[in-house]
A and B are shown apart, each in its own frame.
Chain A
Amino acid sequence: MLSFNLLVVVALAYVLLLFLVAFMAERRAAEGEDGWLRSPMIYTLSISIYCTAWTFYGAVGYAARSGFEFVTIYLGPTLVMVGWWWILRRLVRIGKTQRITSIADLISSRFGKSTQLGMIVTIMAVIATTPYIALQLQSVTLSFAVFADSDGSSWSLGDLNATAIWVAIGLAVFTIVFGTRNLDANERHHGIVIAVAVEAVVKLVALLAVGIFVVWGLAGGPSEMLAQIEASELSTWNQDGGRWITLIFLSAAAFLCLPRMFQVLVVENADERHLHVASWAFPLYLMAMSLFVLPIAVVGLDLLPESANPDLFVLTLPLSQGQNGLAIFSFLGGFSSATSMVIVSTIALATMVSNHIVVPIWLSSGGNEGAMQSGDVRRVIVISRRLSIAGILALGYLYYRLSGGGTALAAIGLVSFSGAVQVLPVMLGGIFWRGATRVGAALGLVTGLIVWGWTLFLPSIGENAVLSAAVLLEGPCGIAWLRPQALFGIEGLDPLIHGIFWSMLFNSAMFFLCSVMSFPLPLERLQGAQFVDVFAHSAQSRTWTRGTADAEDLLIMSQRILGSTQAQSVFQAAAMDQGKEGYLPDVTPDFVERLERELSGSVGAATAHAMIGQLTQGSNVSVEDLIAVADEAAQILEYSNQLEAKSAEQERTARALREANAKLTEVSEQKDAFLSQISHELRTPMTSIRSFSEILRETEIGPKDRSKYAGIIHNEAIRLTRLLDDLLDLSVLENGQVELHQQSGSLSELIERAIDASGVSKKELRIIRVNAEEDVPLHTDLDRLAQVFINLITNAAKYCDVEEPELRISVQAIGGGHVVDFVDNGAGIPRSKQAMIFEKFTRVSDQSTAGGAGLGLAICREVMSRLGGGITYLPGQGGAAFRVTLPAPQALAAQ
């Protein structure tokens, strides 16, 4: 006899192996060597979680009870894989482009990222999956019990429950360890996928081994086996066509809709092309899985006592024949089927519960402001996911305890399937029909859930458990047409067909009608376009460079939302901040964030985020779609704000015009003032010249006066010439046409030269040199620099009106360069004039006696700017003070 303890040791060793495999896979993936993890075969094997303990043990039981009907459970997925793989391809593509994390996320995303829809689908999934998890716990527990029985130690109910809870805890630990390691947007779990693939191989080989043993070991060969099947009553049973079609539909739909299937098919998919391999390999796997189901059932019925549970033939047949090794292997197969399903289902559900129920509630609870800032969100999500895993397994255990573990496995499976497929109309509608709306989806789902609950789920728990036998027979409160298994008086149908027919009919009808009657939100429309036209869009999107958006595209979109003027000003301001001219800034993260804030003011944060996200992530939406949405949003805005917007637009236009006008006026006034100034400066000396020349011509005057008047004419002619020279000089400098003659020299010498050239006598102005000995080498246009110095010296001589005028010229090293300060001991320049003195024709004293035209400092400023230095007024020095900053000595350093 087989030792039960040995079985426990083998099971534990097997679990340990799975941990190891998962751990290695995670390690390899983390090291980037995940090529082999992404092979199409691994993908195909992971899909085999479709085959749960229900398939492993239950299919034989199903065959023993209903003959060939069990095949329908394999035919559905085969049809999907062979005939409808394009639906899968579409789902996978959408899942990748939209970073879908679960089926709830798919539905929620499709219908405008609706939180409510995500919750509805999650709740449905939890309700539909919990019995299924319970079923797996039950099957593992029962299989343990079989060995305990055969060991001679018959189990009490307490032993069974203890086993179930340990199995549940073990699964929770495994799932938490490998299911919440990372929070990748893609939610892929290499370790778990590999473990599931290993388990897929184990369960297939185990079932094949039992089958081979049965056919060749017990029946005596294939032909004898066939004869035995022919003879058994299983092959003669009449098959109900309606039930077959319903079951095929059900299993096909469940294959697409079950949360765990969505997890492995879409979320864990590494490469769309893996579907090609899976489309033939997975049907082969299913065929292999189903190959020996009937033989095992037939032989089991034949060899085992009447009382034996056909659901456990896979185990009990080898045991009864003394094939302990084979029995243990078979046990591991069943164990694998159960655990892989529970692990993946739990991950899928935990992701959904965490993302669509826990986190939204946490976010809206308000106690998260600090966390939102500090990045604790991640921690919260991990914790919520771990708690969800534990919670879901606890629910499964609870259901197992409540249901008493008595119901036939296959029946629970079918009810569970039919609950999960309530998502089908909304899912297919969502990915093929642009017209589907959030309202329609929500009402369809809820209706389907209610009808399913009433007609299938509640009755399945058992008579008098929730619904009394009276309600089942006569309807609630005696309302006959509401009888759970004969809605609207339609009797005589198989309860499963009945329930599926009505739930799917009401579900689809509500979904369709309410979608037609309601209008999608802009974001729904946007998402709808992406989901339905996912291939068109992802092909188009390749014209965008990855991860960047075209500034022009963003501008076009923003104009639709904000209006041209405002959008342009936002873009222009951003461009200016980046030091660019025009309206197209670089698309930096800062700018995108800023734009998103601008847009969310108009269309709401979610929409703005979606729109920007689509453009900046360069993913899969066409500009046309965005513009359609933008137009729509703009229309809505316009509708409510039309008058306001119009007056605001007019106000903006008027302001722009006023500004332009003011600018033009200012320019024109400046031009007038300039011409007027020049006129004055030219006419004044001309007046003297003309006047005195006439005097000299007309009048007999003494030689002394004659000489004096001729001198005036001469001086005024020189003044005029100098003025014209200055004007020309300034004009050349301002236009940047000046030619600089770079020379090397010494600052000290240049200052001496300027003092000499200024022609200022010591009596007029005492010049004091400070730090003259600290010489600075120069390499610049020395003549131009001297011109500036001369100007400053003559200005001091002209305007410093104290008894003993002094000018201190000091050289200092400041900030890596040198400055020359010219400070006199006069009255200085009044604060109000300081800002003006470098402008043309500005004279501090208004005294034309000094002979300046007010161009000197303007020229100095232009010269210094051409030389790469500067000149500023230095306030607070007592007298007038000018600081000349010498050009930076790069030229010198370069030599």
Chain B
Amino acid sequence: MNIRTLIVSAAIGGLCLSAPAFAQVDAEEIFKENDCHKCHHPTKAKKGPSLAKIAAKYKEKKLDEKEAIKHMTAGKKVELDDGTKEDHKIIDTKDVAVQTAVAKWMLNR
């Protein structure tokens, strides 16, 4: 085995190790583990807007998952239906890959 083959094999091996790790992200489960579902229902308005409404708004404003990640990590004040404001919960992961998976899952509702 020459050095080039070794490098390519290592790279493929690395991909094989990291790809399943990414693929194993269960975005819906992480969304619920973080209790996001308590405020955001797929279709109904709860304390927060439904996922369908969020997705439609992002589509309309041509926003992507990066904006959604900002929203779930910044802990900014959000205005509720009754006019009161409170801090938005921050997702309990700093892993950008996981945050991206959750954001994409939300915006595809």
Q: Is chain B found bound to chain A in the same assembly?
A: no
